[in-house]
Chain A
Amino acid sequence: MAFAVFFFTAWLITAIFFAIPKKLTLIENTFIFMLILVISINWSWIIYEGFKFIKITKEPMNYTGFLFFRSVTIPMLLVLQLNLIHRSKMFGSTAVITVLSVATLLLLDGLSIFFGITTYQKWNIFYDFLYFTGLHIVTYFFLWLFRKISYRGVDYS
């Protein structure tokens, strides 16, 4: 059940990404995806395996569900929300999209606990809220930085 749910969410977010008109270039989308993938992998390794703040399941299929969440859902959702934000540059819609994106990640976190994929040891949902919010800020910053370095002297808009 848990594997199917997490595979479905990973697929759904990827499918939505393919369906929407992209506001970032293919290069920018790939760059952000890879950057968030690296952060997500490192973060989960340090928090889960290093400090053992969160315990991960040893059940193979549920563990695979966790891998889909860590390596597909999180980076893909960050890329998706970035494209949605750039469709409408109004502050209100940016705030709403960001809140919805963080809420989706927290909801998936809740599902992960519900299915027994993860168990908080010395951790709580507020820390995850801070992490996901920070991840969104990092995403906006690195897209800005990437554009600044790549297209120096070029108006890309």
Chain B
Amino acid sequence: MILWEAFDKNEIFILILNILAYGVFFLLPKKFTRDIIILLLVWGFTIGVFFDFTIGGGLIDFYLLNDSNKYGLNDVCYYLAFAPFGYFFVYFYEVFHINRATFIWYVTVWALIGIGLHWIFILIDIVNPKNGYQLLYSFPVFLTTQTMTVLYYQLIKSKHKVFKNTEQPN
């Protein structure tokens, strides 16, 4: 394991992304109970790690992360940025009172935001596609993971108290 191959634009972008994402996370009013907050952060982080190590490496190896095949601290920081986004996805799902009809728009817009970020990641060499991988292949990945997130969150909401105050689940 290394720290990074060369500290340049991709490392700087990952640092800025983390500062911004965690800054927003800490500034947003705490809406959820502590266990839900931890769960959503770990959920976002795990999905990032799971997909990257399953299709981004090993035998399939659709992309090179950062400047090196070696696992680096900058790679870990990249995955850490996924954690608050897992939280934001559910946070704004509640803020905008997303329902069965608006869910389609909500997931589509988030998937497009995901594609946009992925495009920037490719531009600044955080993600380097190979073996025929194309940016748009990430679209179904985003649609699937975000739909799963909504379904899972609705399941949790039906069984547990998710809000910090007395707000009741739908």
Question: A144 at the A/B interface (Cβ < 8 Å)?
Answer: no
Question: B29 at the A/B interface (Cβ < 8 Å)?
Answer: no
Question: A78 at the A/B interface (Cβ < 8 Å)?
Answer: no
Question: A50 at the A/B interface (Cβ < 8 Å)?
Answer: yes
- Return chain A residues, CB-CB under 8 Å to B1: 46, 50
A31 to B46 Cα, complex, angstroms:
10
A149 to B33 Cα, complex, angstroms:
11
Are the CB atoms of B35 and A151 closer together than 8 Å? yes
Question: B36 at the A/B interface (Cβ < 8 Å)?
Answer: yes
Interface size on A, residues (CB 8 A): 26
A56 to B38 Cα, complex, angstroms:
34
Question: B43 at the A/B interface (Cβ < 8 Å)?
Answer: yes
Contacts A26-B159, A27-B35, A146-B35; is A63 near B46 (CB within 8 Å)?
no
A86 to B42 Cα, complex, angstroms:
23
Question: A97 at the A/B interface (Cβ < 8 Å)?
Answer: no
Contacts A26-B155, A45-B71, A46-B71; is A35 near B35 (CB within 8 Å)?
no
Question: A128 at the A/B interface (Cβ < 8 Å)?
Answer: no
Contacts A37-B50, A50-B70; is A150 near B43 (CB within 8 Å)?
no
CB proximity to B under 8 Å, residues A96-126: none
- Return chain A residues, CB-CB under 8 Å to B33: 150
Interface size on B, residues (CB 8 A): 25
Chain B CB within 10 Å — which of A25, A38, A46 has the most? A38
Question: B102 at the A/B interface (Cβ < 8 Å)?
Answer: no
Chain A CB within 10 Å — which of B50, B58, B71, B156 has the most? B58
A54 to B143 Cα, complex, angstroms:
35
- Return chain A residues, CB-CB under 8 Å to B45: 34, 38
Question: B34 at the A/B interface (Cβ < 8 Å)?
Answer: yes
A9 to chain B, nearest CB (A): 18
- For A6-47 the 0/1 string (1 means CB < 8 A from B) is 000000000000000000011100110011011001100110
Are the CB atoms of A150 and B49 closer together than 8 Å? no
The 6 closest A-B pairs by CB, nearest first: A150-B35, A34-B46, A63-B59, A41-B53, A150-B34, A34-B42
A-B contact pairs, 22 of them (CB 8 A): A26-B155, A26-B156, A26-B159, A30-B152, A34-B46, A35-B42, A37-B46, A38-B45, A41-B49, A41-B50, A42-B49, A45-B53, A45-B57, A49-B57, A49-B71, A50-B71, A63-B58, A63-B59, A71-B50, A149-B34, A151-B35, A152-B34
B residues touching A (Cβ–Cβ < 8 Å)? 1, 33-36, 38-39, 42-43, 45-46, 49-50, 53-54, 57-59, 70-71, 152, 155-156, 159-160
